C-alpha cells in the first residue's frame, strides 16, 4: 500500500467525517436516550475504528491480512448493529401500540 500524501489526506478527511458523524449520533442518543439511537451511534463508531485500522496498517502496525480481516469484522459488526437498531425500534413501537396505556412520544 502506497503511503502517499493523497492517501494520508483522504484518511484524515475520513477521520474527520467519521468523528463528526459519531458526534452527531451521540448527540441524538443523548437527546433521545433510547436503545436504537445507541445502536446507531455504535454502528457509526465502527467507521471511526476503520480509520484507526487503516492508519495502523499505514504505520506498519498491522499486516495486510490483519488489516483486511479487521475491516471485514467491522463491516459485519456495523451491519449487525444497524439490524439490531431497526429490530429494536420496531419491537418498541409494536409494544407501545399494543399497550394503550403507554403513549409513544415523538419529539420530531
pLDDT in the model for residue 100:
58
pLDDT in the model for residue 101:
60
pLDDT in the model for residue 4:
86
pLDDT in the model for residue 23:
96
pLDDT means per 10 residues, the chain with 108 residues, are: 82 96 96 94 96 94 95 97 93 66 52
pLDDT in the model for residue 108:
44
pLDDT in the model for residue 50:
96
pLDDT in the model for residue 103:
53
Q: Which helix (H) or strand (E) holds 57?
A: helix 35-58
Full-model pTM: 0.77
Contacts of 32 (CB under 8 A, 6+ apart): 107
Q: Which grid cell sits at 2?
A: 502506497
* Whether the Cβ atoms of residue 54 and residue 67 lie closer than 8 Å to each other: yes
* Whether the Cβ atoms of residue 70 and residue 62 lie closer than 8 Å to each other: yes
pLDDT in the model for residue 90:
83
* Whether the Cβ atoms of residue 50 and residue 71 lie closer than 8 Å to each other: yes
Amino acid at each position: 500500500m502506497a503511503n502517499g500524501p493523497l492517501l494520508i489526506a483522504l484518511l484524515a478527511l475520513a477521520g474527520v467525517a467519521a468523528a463528526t458523524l459519531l458526534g452527531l449520533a451521540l448527540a441524538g442518543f443523548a437527546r433521545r436516550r433510547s436503545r436504537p439511537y445507541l445502536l446507531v451511534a455504535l454502528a457509526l463508531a465502527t467507521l471511526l475504528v476503520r480509520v484507526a485500522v487503516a492508519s495502523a496498517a499505514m504505520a506498519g502496525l498491522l499486516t495486510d491480512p490483519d488489516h483486511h480481516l479487521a475491516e471485514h469484522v467491522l463491516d459485519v459488526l456495523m451491519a449487525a448493529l444497524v439490524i439490531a437498531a431497526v429490530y429494536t425500534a420496531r419491537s418498541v413501537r409494536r409494544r407501545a401500540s399494543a399497550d394503550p396505556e403507554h403513549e409513544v412520544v415523538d419529539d420530531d
